[in-house]
Amino acid sequence: MVEICHKYGLLVDAYIAHPSDRHLFGIPAETPAQVGEIAKQMQDIGVDMIGLMTGMSYEGVAAGEIHPEVRRRLEALLKSVNVPTLAEGGINDKNFRAFIGTGVNILVVGTAFDDVARNAVREMVKTFLGR
């Protein structure tokens, strides 16, 4: 897959997830050591960017913080590869600053933007319906 993508000038990103994530998106790695091993293997086959799913399974973290387990997993990823890295999952306006200084190159923000848009549409519909 990587060779075919590169043949056509495309970049390839791959993700690592915790096996107990509610939405398993990526190759499962339970421990930080496994994260590092899998990330190295991804880099060795030519993946251009490696992402870590960071927030779908880590409850109980104060707003603006990164769960300690996520931090350990990020550190393992970053120590293992020299390709650009991504963090995705659960990143929002409360915690994105916590990723500054971690070494992660790219934050992928999806649901936080979706939630803002959903709420704006809901409010506009209420206005049109006179509620």
pLDDT in tens, 111-124: 888 888 999 999 99
**Average pLDDT, stretch 10-26?**
87
Helix, strand, or coil (residue 18): coil
The pLDDT-based confidence of 58 (bands split at 50, 70, 90) is low
Which uninterrupted H or E stretch holds 37?
Answer: helix 32-44
Phi, psi of 15 (to 5 degrees): -120, 150
| Predicted local confidence at residue 112, as pLDDT | 81
Q: What is the mean pLDDT of residues 74-83?
A: 97
Give the Å distances, CA to CA, from 21 to 16, 47, 103, 105. 11, 23, 23, 23
Say yes or no to pLDDT of 128 above 60.
Answer: yes
pLDDT score recorded for residue 24? 73
Beta bridge partners of 15: 51
